[in-house]
């Protein structure tokens, strides 16, 4: 084994050891209070949605951690939980109806897992929603603040457009006496720290190689 191969093996072994830490709950990305809410309300027969997009697209981050079940659906993925659905105003759907959110279109590879309030991540269901893993493309919003988990595997730009409507609380069948609305959310995943670290190992190896070449040429 050449010297640089030994160095690489030692560094990679170190990574594996670091990666074998105890399970954790996923992190509230960019801080628990840094929330981007989509506020939904009813104005007469109109569904209204006001989204806080001031820092969009939001970062999808791969922390390289392994998670307690059922949050282990996020293992090996980059994720973000800053977008949250909230309900505003006194006007609510009539008994038997509910607010439904339907994924109209979304980027290939974007996954969504059900959350709730951000600090209560140990009690989230982490159920796949919005077509993830063959789930339904509609999700009932029970008017309690809900921060779902958006996750991806590959770097890139991601977006999802949702149709927000009033529908039967059980079937989700649309109540046509209300006008639906829509909102588009966006995320971006740039290479995570682990990749940057691997790149720096490559740089170290490259440097060693150049140094030994220089010595040979002396």
For Cu ion, give the closer residue by CB, 136 or 145: 145
Exactly one of 26, 29, 35, 187 binds Cu ion (CB under 5 A); that residue is 35
**Contacting range for Cu ion; rule: CB under 5 A; set: 33-41, 57-65, 125-133, 180-188:** 33-41
Q: How far is the CB of 124 from Cu ion (least distance, A)?
A: 13
Candidates 48, 122, 41; CA nearest to 87 is 41
**Contacting range for Cu ion; rule: CB under 5 A; set: 54-62, 144-152, 184-192, 194-202:** 144-152
Please report whether residue 115 would count as binding Cu ion according to CB under 5 A: no
Candidates 185, 187, 184, 183; CA nearest to 164 is 183
For Cu ion, give the closer residue by CB, 40 or 97: 40
Please report whether residue 204 would count as binding Cu ion according to CB under 5 A: no
**Contacting range for Cu ion; rule: CB under 5 A; set: 42-50, 72-80, 106-114, 137-145:** 137-145
Residue 88 backbone zone (phi > 0: left; psi -120 to 50: alpha; other: beta): beta
Q: Looking at the chain, which runs of residues are DSSP E strands? A: 36-43, 46-51, 58-59, 78-80, 83-87, 97-106, 111-116, 128-129, 138-141, 147-152, 156-168, 181-189
Q: How far is the CB of 139 from Cu ion (least distance, A)?
A: 17
The answer to whether 80 and 187 are in contact (CB under 8 A) is: yes
The answer to whether 85 and 146 are in contact (CB under 8 A) is: yes
Please report whether residue 145 would count as binding Cu ion according to CB under 5 A: yes
Restricting to residues 46-85, name those near Cu ion by CB under 5 A: 84
Residues 152, 50: Cα–Cα separation, whole Å: 25
Q: How far is the CB of 146 from Cu ion (least distance, A)?
A: 8
For residue 98, what are its two tokens? 């509910």
For Cu ion, give the closer residue by CB, 145 or 204: 145
Candidates 56, 74, 76, 75; CA nearest to 150 is 74
Which residues here bind Cu ion, judged by CB under 5 A? 35, 84, 145
């Amino acid at each position: 084994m050449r010297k640089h191969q030994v160095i690489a093996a030692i560094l990679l072994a170190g990574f594996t050891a670091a990666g074998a830490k105890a399970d954790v709950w996923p992190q509230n990305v960019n801080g628990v209070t840094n929330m981007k809410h989509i506020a939904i309300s009813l104005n007469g027969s109109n569904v209204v949605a006001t989204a806080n997009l001031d820092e969009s697209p939001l970062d999808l981050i791969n922390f390289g951690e392994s998670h307690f079940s059922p949050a282990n659906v996020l293992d090996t993925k980059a994720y973000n939980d800053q977008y949250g659905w909230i309900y505003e105003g006194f006007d609510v759907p009539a008994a038997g109806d509910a607010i439904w959110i339907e994924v109209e279109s979304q980027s290939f590879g974007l996954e969504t897992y059900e959350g709730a309030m951000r600090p209560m991540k140990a009690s989230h269901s982490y159920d796949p929603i919005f077509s993830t893993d063959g789930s339904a493309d509609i999700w009932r919003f029970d008017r309690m603040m809900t921060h779902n988990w958006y996750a991806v595997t590959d770097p890139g730009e991601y977006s999802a457009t949702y149709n927000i409507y009033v529908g039967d609380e059980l079937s989700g069948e649309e109540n046509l006496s209300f006008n639906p609305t829509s909102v588009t959310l966006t995320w971006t995943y740039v290479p995570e720290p682990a990749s940057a670290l691997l790149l720096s190992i490559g740089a170290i190896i490259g440097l060693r190689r150049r140094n030994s070449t220089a010595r040979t040429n002396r």
